[in-house]
Amino acid sequence: MRAPILRIPIRFFAWVPAAAIFFGAFVAARSLEAQEETASQKNFGISVQASPQIFATMCALDAAGLDADESTLSEMPARLALRGDLLKMQGTATEALRQFYKDHSLESPTETLSRYITFALIAGPPPAFELPGDVEQLPPDVLTIDGFQKVLEDFYQEAHLDLRWAKIEPEYEPSVERYRALVRRTVTVSDAYLREISKTDGRSFTVYVEPLVGARTNFRNFGNRYAIVVGGDPDARAKAIQHAYLHFMLDGLVLRHRNLLDPKASLLNVAAAAPRLPIEYRDDFVAFTDECLIKAVELRLRGLTGAPLEAALQDADQSGYVLVRPLVAGLQKFEKAEPAMSYYFPDLVTGIDFDAERKRAQGIKFAAAQPNAEADEIHGPVSRHATELDRLLAEGNREIASKDGAAATATFEAALAKYPNDSRLEYGLAIASVISGNGDRAQELFEKVVSAPASTGQGAKEGGSSDPSAIAWSHVYLGRIHDLSDERDQALNEYRAALDVNGAPEAARVAAQNGIAAAYQPPAGATKKEPE
């Protein structure tokens, strides 16, 4: 997702009255300036800023040995010196941090960093870095590094990162200002094209500047909160920021009209066969349409015509984004109309002949996957450098997070056929069984997981291995199952067994201690058949 800064020809906007463009651009720019002034206090709007949580997390990764691009720190001598100091640090908390990082690292540095960035985006302010809500409902990325909160809190104190942040924060401001200029241009151009003015209404779009992430752009959205973490040259991040901002502007619009899209979902049965289509779009037609719409808008903003446009459309087709082509044609009509996109979108959808597009897609020769390519910085938490087992685990965990028990069951069953006796896969299948309402199978699987001895470190990454997190949580779930069956003594035995697991994550320990303190009760509104 790296590209030079977008340059939009003036002639491209010839269809819009000049006064309307000027007014829209003026309002958008002034709105952004006003929102930036208040975003830190009200936590909404469009803003660009540095983050003490991301700073602290990156400092921890520095000390742990994450491979970072130091060339991004050429204008930040104090931050560069700090990185050197952190690499040489010694201390109890620092050594615990390094062991934690080693135990939880993946083959791909991009995928490893992605997990910690997700943590930093949802964590509270230092020094506690408190995580929101029920720990069992956290994003899958964060659950895979369960326990990092306490590790980071201890390291923050040992490294005196509060004092270091106060000293280094001013060095971030020049980069923040350059990104603010880029975001203003992005908002102005995007809003003018869509004929919309950004209405936040409690929603937020935040660009976090952290030079050490370099080219590893990370984009997340948590409900109404959109965030993208960027570093390095702003011009090189222009395309990624525009893509993220278009998600902010269009996601809700597409979702509101899913009633128009759901009857057309059979098109995805063809597109899902494309090896390059990211996993998250293969069974979600609304998300797939949303992504195709954003790609189509991007092509129109580039002003491509003739052979260059056809080449871009062929690339979209061969990558599985088969709706980009008809959406580009529909956008050409939108450009000659008057309503804003929020009003025009139903006409855009109904103007597509989905049966014809499905037949056309059946004749497309999809491009092969690119196993050596960089991970897609906007779409993936799944890196193409990750092992097949990592990918299957990530896919199954996403399906669990979406409460799609049937899909998660299929994914974990397929994974276990290739990697038998892996406790993480068995645990995932057990959770999928809970979601599907198959309590007997869930109990059987949890019991199988706890029958294997716990192991820690890198060995837990290979097929046929056991994992202390899976074992500890399986004991917790077995305890809850016994509690729901009024078998209190057996439940207590399971909770105590969870506490005895060497390397059990803190969240599992807390859940076990809660189970010892009081018999488990299902959440309000849930049945008393299965543990939540």
Q: What is the pTM of this model?
A: 0.67
Return the residue matching tokens 């050409």.
332
Domain with CATH 1.25.40.10 in the chain: 388-517
Helix/strand/coil for 198? coil
**For residue 503, what pLDDT is reported?**
72
What phi and psi values does residue 220 have, to the nearest 5 degrees? Answer: -140, 155
Ordered strands of the 225-230 beta sheet: 45-49, 204-209, 225-230, 218-222
Residue 291 identity: E
Averaged pLDDT score across all residues of the chain: 81
**For residue 71, what pLDDT is reported?**
66
- Give, in order, the Cα–Cα distances in Å from 408 to each of 139, 300, 388, 449: 16, 37, 16, 18
- Give, in order, the Cα–Cα distances in Å from 257 to each of 95, 221, 349, 418: 52, 20, 9, 40
Residues 184 and 187: their CA atoms lie apart, in Å, by 5
One digit per residue, pLDDT tens: the chain, 532 residues? 333 322 222 222 222 332 332 333 333 343 444 444 444 334 458 999 999 999 999 999 999 988 766 666 767 888 888 888 898 999 999 999 999 998 888 877 788 888 999 999 999 999 999 988 766 667 878 888 888 999 999 999 999 999 999 999 999 999 999 999 999 999 999 999 999 887 667 789 999 999 888 777 889 988 888 999 998 788 888 999 999 999 999 999 999 998 999 899 899 989 989 999 988 888 889 999 999 999 999 999 999 889 999 999 999 999 999 999 999 999 999 999 989 999 999 999 999 999 999 999 999 999 987 754 444 444 433 333 345 676 677 778 767 766 778 888 998 998 898 888 888 889 889 999 988 888 889 999 999 999 875 443 333 333 445 677 788 889 999 999 999 899 999 999 999 999 988 877 767 787 888 899 999 887 654 554 455 5
Residues 98 and 59: their CA atoms lie apart, in Å, by 12
Q: Which CATH architecture has domain 388-517?
A: Alpha Horseshoe (1.25)
**For residue 28, what pLDDT is reported?**
39
